[in-house]
Structures are given as structure tokens and as C-alpha cells.
Structure 1
């Protein structure tokens, strides 16, 4: 890519591909926000972004950690450098990097020091942006964190391209629906025109001049009006020499139909109204409508009738039927989940893909309310959704449904309001993202758990800061006594067993909603909710009484949360108390 990134053919193609995604300046979406949050938690970074590099700006599709910022100038975007290569780019200290040391985000807010960005490379090969993380202190990612960030970038690309395909599918459905509607309107107009012509023929009598014909059964003489001649592409005033010549314009099967209708009219007086194929003198295949009957005029039996070219109407009907078949196939065989429902959420139509997602037959779903497949606590949300779509005309989001086997299914939907004969209904199109939903949940859970002891890790404290905001709490810090000797004497496997057993010991003694955290190495912490001085003292006393149940000796220090303090600050006070106790203990041993 050109260093300026502005003038090359490759850059023009890249910008065009970015515009084709129709992702720029769109509202936040839960999937992308989940990806940036996972990136931040997995790398321990306060900021994570999904960026798109436009011609003059860097725009954020998802922003975790920089509230109120939607875009920056491309000229001072580190991500503009990251998309020039295929691999993850890591800047350990931007102050010391001549490329970025003068950038606004480095010298000013938010004082970026560390940056790591994985380019978002589409299947077409174009790199349209990055999944990046930022920090305000210099540091480096571990190999596991680098790999995780790259995998999340691939998931982001998959989400972008899946979103693009979903929009294309929705547009195709909309185009088909519009085409069908236009064809129906044209067909209705042609039908009205035909009925108007029929009324004219009725008013002008049995021997209408325009588009009319007359055949004398006694003499065999046939008369065609100028309009009838024009339809047959013969000169005005043309007169068929015989009944057989008049019939010769029809293909063989149609001749038999006309003969049968004429014979029936002669025998019963019954008229006919037929639509038949016809080949003109010029060889053009058309469709005509012939309306007539046998009548007696001045004592002579005559066939009197009207004649009209209905090719356009016939083609319109055929096109409408073809469109209906195409639409039905799209509906039946689409991998997308398609349904319609009314203002109460009653299913009017649902395609097989949506029924399969719920493990049910289509027939078992029609006429049912969508709330029948929701957990009770979700039904209030559905009422808000119905109000929104009937107010705004469209709605997007994720819906949770209960499948036949009791499992939960998650559908990402984009629904629009439609109308047919004055009746308004919702046309719904969705995608089953259940696997993706649970994978995101699992990634989030893994990012905040210590894999050895299954305790929460230090990153979980960030969530607790919000969950326990202004809540009275206590922090107790633990350090294992002589743990290094366990590793040195018995090996790390035994050391890991001790850590797991000690974590279980703490969990048994920690009441809900208290939390056990492994801070690192042989350091642990217990956070007690709604704790005061008396409650903390009782808990510490119980722990001392049960100390012989611990797999190893331990030291501890405790602190109560002071109003206005964070949990991190309270934990730091508990750490200080632990080390003060250790120093006193060592001083007493030295005095002995």
C-alpha cells in the first residue's frame, strides 16, 4: 500500500470495498461490541476498538473504553499503519516510536503508550480496518494474547462479511417483493382495460366494428373489422376466404377448442369466452381473447363476436406466477430465518429454516404467538419490540427463543413493517447465532477466570467495581507460607494441587455473594460484600479456627472499604496490612 494511502489503484479498490460493506456510520451492534470487550479483557487493556479506515478518517464501529469518540483523522491514526501489513502490529511504547511520538493521542488525551492492532482482512484480500487494543502504559502482549487478538480479528471479519451477505439477502427479498407488487399492479391495470373493452363491445352490440367479426353460417362469408385485421397483421379490409382460413391462424390444439365452442353455440345458443394462442401473418406468436355467440339476424344464423389482443396481460400473469414461484422458493429454501407476524406477534408464515432452528414443524408454529416460545421474563421485552416496530416501521436486535427440546436459541433479526390490502404485518428476517452467542459467553467467562483454580482473576475486579458500586465491602489478602519450598521439594505438580486445594478452602469459607480471586502466583484475595467491622472480625475468627483444614499455612491481611474508595484501593490496604503482619512476625522470630 502507498505510504500516503490515498492515490494508488489498490487504495481506490480498498475504499470502494469498504463503501460496499455499508458499515460506515452505522449504529453500534451487540456482536461487534462483544468482540471489542472480549479483546480488552483477554489482553488486559482498558481500550479496544473496531476501526474502519476511510479516505480521510478513522471511524470506530465499536468503541470500548473511549466514550464519546466516534472517529479521528486518518493522518494521526496508528491503525493506518497497521493495515499496511498482514500481521498483527504491536507498538510497545509510542513515545519512543518516531512514527507516532507526535500523534495527538500520544502527546494528549488519552496518552496512548501501548498499541496492538490486527488488520481486518476480507476474503477479497482488502484490509479495511483493525481490531486494536490501547493502554496508557508501555508494555507487550504475551504470545497467547497475540494469538487471541488475531483470532478475534478473524471473528470480526466473519461478522462483517456475514452482515454484508445478510443485507444483500434482505435486499434481494425486498426487490422480489417490489417486482411482484409491480407485476400485480400491471396485471390489475390490464384486467381493468380488458373489462372496459368488454363493456364497450357490449354497448356497441353484437356486430361491433372495432375488434369485431361476423360469420354467416349459411353463405360462409366472414367479415373482420380493421382492428381484427390489425391484430392478425393483415391489411385492413382483408376477408378470410373460408372458415378454415380464419382458423388457420390458430395452432392445431387451439383450432379444436374454437371448433368445439362454435359447435356448442350452434346447438345450444351458448356463447364463448376464450383466451388462445395465435400466430399472425407476420409469424408473431400472440395471445388473443375471442368472445362470441351464434345469433339469428334477419333470419340468417350468424357468429357475432369481439376480438382482442391480450398478449401483454397474459405475459403479465405468467410473469406474476413466475415471480410468485421464485419468491416461494426463496422463502422455502433460504438458509435465512424468514417469517411474518401480526401486531400481536401471531405467526402468519414461517419458512422451514426457522422451524428447524426451533426443532418443530411449520404446521406446529403457524397461528402461535412468539411469546409461547419465550421464557416468562422475556415477554415484557417483546411487548416493547412490537410497540417500536409499529411506531418506527423497522426494528433490529437479538431475540431469545426456547426450542422444542428446551434449549435456548438466539436469532439476530432485522424486521420491517409491511401492508397488504390495508392490513399491516411484520416481515421478519433473522439469522440463528446461537453457537456464536454461547462462544462469546464462553470467551468472556474464560477471560475472567484463572484456568488452574477456577477462581476469578484480577480483571474481574473491573466488573465488581460496577456491580458493587458504593457497597460496603471488605478485602482480605492471602499469601501462602513457604510455598516456594513446596515447589522446590515436591515439584510444580504438587504446587498446583496445593493452590487448587487452598482455593477450595477459601471458597468453602466465603459466603455469597463474596468472591475468591487469585491475584497471581501464591497470592489470593477474598472480597466480602455488605461487610462491616464486626462481620469481618467474625469471618477472620472462623478462618483462624479452621486453619488446620487448609492444605498449607498462610498469612493474611484485611481492610474495610472506605466510602469513595475503589476495590483495588481497598485490596492494596489489605496487602499492606498483610506485609505489616509478616514484618512483625519476622521481628519476633529474630528477637527469639
Structure 2
């Protein structure tokens, strides 16, 4: 079973998968709902959102494969599906050379059917699949494949949207924090240009020096320094020009002329050419020097890092609406150089619609109230692209209205807008998919009690397109006997977060009663229920089919019971006449053989041999018939003792053939002890029977696997061609003439029935001339019921 090759762009795909930050994260209701929708649409018990990592496939959503979170990539069907762009369909994995020997096919969970739709990101990376799985072979129709592809597109969009949402939220929090620090900092923060002219002045600077922003901005910072320190002030600015940030102690002047001992941290601000047109001073009052000394350097460093790495887009405009200052982030976002924008009207960088909105709404609001919050505008980048932003601004108005400045912060919400559009597209796609698949969606807002139904949900209920369900009467659509079930499921979901998947009876608006599958889950925020979401599907026809199948199974079970009883009685009644024929034939051979001709003795031999073979066949048939009717209740059985009991009567056979039999430490299992002796006796007997020229080497192995023991009987005999593997477990199927190897053709069929009665599986691995390994599994817990 060769593993799937790597994707041609494997490194790029793995980088994109890591960037989604989705691996090993908790389940998410939206993605779980999409996986469940795929299960319902394709009619399979299993649906997975599988992400193919470097060495594994990990399940972000899992419907029907309880307890599984990942498998090795070498075993993954999805590792093959991601190599293409269309839905990969495997109708029967046993007939596909890629998967016929796959442990997931030959063992648990017994995959037969698989269909996987690739999950492709916008950049073209195929990170995994939305796949559906069944334990029975099947062939999906074109509509189901189209639905699976649509749902895979929705899953990929949802995965990318969740990343964009997190990035936007983080940027918003960072911007709000930066603005808060600047506004409420206990340290004075002052920005100076190359000529030591003050350009920015925060509230802490006003409190420290006594000057308002309007009084000081635009004036030389030398007004703050005593004459003796002005030379040092210029030297510090010169150090900033060559990019040297440093902290020093100094004396500065209050507005009233008093001296202030301060600690100053000077941080250069670089432009695109690497020059330092401005520098920022973080000034701390050190009159309480001993108390503040320990914290000053750390605070200054924190502010410096924040200033350098802030995500804010900032610009400042003057009274004529021309740009006088922009941040590096502003320039990066819009693709301009600083000398291209300074002095130009800020309105030049807006779309025509946003320019009109700013002139009609934004600028008048700032002039009247001094600020504006979260006005949505569209800026145009240098290469013509449009960026959506939220703009908030504060007007800094001094004594001269013509000299006032407006400081604006811009939050780029382009990705959020794209995410909202993608979400709307996804909702539209889900609505259309639901209509095609016959699956309706619904949601309930816990706070408001508002219920939303999709058009398909309204169709299932038999109401018109404008019908709006109310929380008070929505339960009345369920039949009286179903109401307690759905109410209990919702209450449990609200309390514990457990989803529900129920089959209930629904009363349509026209009075007709139908069966529906009701699936739902509760979404939480900060530990409180926020929203209930779910899906509804009309399963009336399926329930009718299930009932017909149940009736047919019961009839078949009764027929099998009657047939089993008939086989038992018939086989039992045949024993006596066959015993008489064989016994008298043997007596005749012993007492009168000399009086018979050679031909008579030959006929007599055939008669006795035929009778004995018929008796053996009847004994085996009786054993097969008694499995269900006379089987004992399971008890702890030591397989080591069972093996010893089996080998005792085979002692002569082992000596004749020179057989060497070894075994691992065999476990104690819960089973029928008589049937365990039959099982091991048949398998060890076959290993001694089907030998070649070499002395038989037989080894019994035991391996514990999740949920069961795997017991194997390995020999070095003649082997079996793989094409006969399925045939040898069928009743009366023989691969050799009786003259070559004796037997009735019932032994392996008996083994298969014993193993299945105990809730296990049986199989064989072999090749002609290379021996055979027969294996079977037994649960390590008692079976729930007898077959």
C-alpha cells in the first residue's frame, strides 16, 4: 500500500495551513454544522473536515467517527484527494489498489466508500478535504457530488474568514490600547521636528510644564530649557539625527519659571529615506527621584516600543484640510512616500463618494463638536486600490482658529468588510445548498428570542415564505410525544453544550404528520449561551423504508431460525442410519472380506469411506447449527489452556509430520470455552493439514489493539492465492480435492461464525508457497448480546 505522494507545492501549503492557526483547536459549531450537512446530503454515517499536515491528517470536524482526532498521513485517503481539484470518489475501497490493504479498510472503522472534496484557499493551496465515508460500498449521484463541492467551498471560506476576524480584532484592540496610553500616560510625550519645534504635546506634558497644547505646539522647545542647558538640548537632538536613542537627566522650566528636574528619553523617528525629521521625548518628573528611578527606564522603553510598533494609521490636517503629518503605517497602507502627500488636501485620497461624505458629514461635525468617531470612508491607494477605513478624529483648536490641527486615527477594515461579504456569500451558498439537499437551517438568539428559518425550513413546516416563527409557539409544530424529547435536548445543550441529533415527528401547518431529523447545537460566549443553531431534514420516506427493512429482517430471522432447526433435526436424524451403514460395512469387511472378490472389497471400502465422510459432514453441520442455539454464556477463558487442550489429540499428527508449534503469551478472554476450542482446533488443524515438503512451523501470536485482542495462527505451508481469500470462509467451499487434503469444507465457515458471534472479525494473509496467517479478533470486554 504505497502512500500518496506529496503535493507539488507542499512547503507552501503547509505554511498556509499553519497560518490558519486551526490545527489542534477546539470544535467550532459552524464547521461542525457544515460537516453534518455533508453527512446528511450524501446519506453517509461519517463526515470529516480533514486537514492534511506534514505527517498526519487532523480532523477539525468529526461526524460519526467518535473518539478519532487524527490518523497518520500514510493511511489517509485525503492525502490522495488533495492532489486533485475535483471530488475524489472511491466507490469500494476493497477494489481499489491504493486502499485495498489499508488498515482503515481491512480493520476498524472498515471504510468501503469514500468521497473527498478538496479544500482550496484563495491562494490556491489545497490544505485538506471535506469528506464523507460509509462502511458499505456506494456510488454517489452527480447532485451529491456537487453538494459536497459546494460545502467544501463554504468550509474553506469559513477557515479563512476566522483568521481575518482574529487579525482585525487584534488590530482594533492594539489601536485602542495605543490611543489610551497616549492620552492617559503619566509621562509627558513631546514630538520635536528637526528645528526643535514642538509638534505633539500630550495631556501629561500640559500638567508637567503648565503649557496647553495650543500654547506650545509650533514654538521652539528651547522655551522649556534654562539657558545653560540649551546647548545640551541641541546636542541631544543631533544624536537623534544619527539615529541614537538615549536617556539623560536634565533640568527644564515650568511655565511659571520654576525649575523641574526631569529624566528624558529621546527616540528618533525615521522616514522612508532613513532620515530623522522628528524625534519623540518621553519626559518624567524626577522631583521624587528615588521613588521614580526604578520605573522610569522600563516605562520609557515600553513607550518607545509602542511608538515604533503601533499599528495605528495616523494623519494630521491643518485648518485648510491639508496633510501636515502622516504615520509610517498610513504611508505603508496606502503605498505613498511622505513627500508625495504632505501639503496635499486630505480629500484627494478619498473616493468620490467618500469625499462627498466627508465634506457633508465629517468635517462639519469636527468643527462643531471638536471630534468625530468611527465614520466609515474609502481611501484610494497609490496603485488605485480601495481600502475601507473607520476614521476617528479630534480637533486641537487654539486661540487662532486658522492654526488649529485635526489629529485623525484610521482603522483599516478592508479585511473585515471582505469577511462580512464572504459570510454573506457563505450564507447564500448554504441557503441554496439546503434547498438542493432538502436540509433546512434555523437559529435562535438567546437574548432576544428571535428565531430565523431558512426557506427550506419553512417548506418543511408547510408555511409560506413570509412566515415568522415565534418562540412561544414554535414547539407546537412538534407532535405531543416528540415535544418532551426536543425540550430535554435543548435544556441539556444550554446547560452542558452537548449537541443533539434526534428523529422526531413534526406537525405541518396543513396538519400532515411527518418524520424529521432535528440537529442542533448551542454557541457560547464567555460561558453563557449566545445562540442556538441547527438543521432540519424531512426523513419521512427514509423512516418508511427503515420500517420495511426492519420487517424484512424480522421475517428473514424467523426463516433462518426455522432453517437452522430443520438442519439440526435433519442432520441428527441422518446420524443413525449412516452409523448403521458404516458399522455393518466395517463388520462385513472384518468378517467376510476373504470371501469377497477384489472388486467387492473395493466397493465395500468405498461404502465405508463414504459413510464415514457423510458422518463427518453431518457432525460439522451439527456444530455449525448449534452455534446459535446451544452456545454457552461468555465466561473468562484462558486461551493458553484452550491451546493445550487442542494440541493433546494432535500429538500423533505432530510426531508424524515433525511439526514445531510455538506461541506468544495468550490472553484470557470472555468467550464460549467450547467454541474457542473449536476455533483454535480448526485453525491449528488446518496448519498441520496443508503442509508442503517442509516440516510444519506454526506460531500463535497475540497482540492487544484498541478495544480487542488480535490472535493469529501462522504456518509455513502451501499458502493460498489472494483471489480465494473471500471464498475459503464460505460453507462447502474447498480449494483442493479430497484425495489431496481431507475435510468437509465447513471448518473455516464454522470459524467465521464463531468469531462473528463473539463480536470479532476474521481474515487471512497469504501467498502461494509462502505459508498463511489466519487472524481473528476478540473484544476485550464481554459481547453485548449473543448472535
TM-score bracket, shorter-length normalisation: 0.3 to 0.5
TM-score (norm. length: structure 2) = 0.33
TM-score (norm. length: structure 1) = 0.43
- Identify the structure with bigger relative contact order (alpha carbons < 8 Å, sequence gap 6+): 1
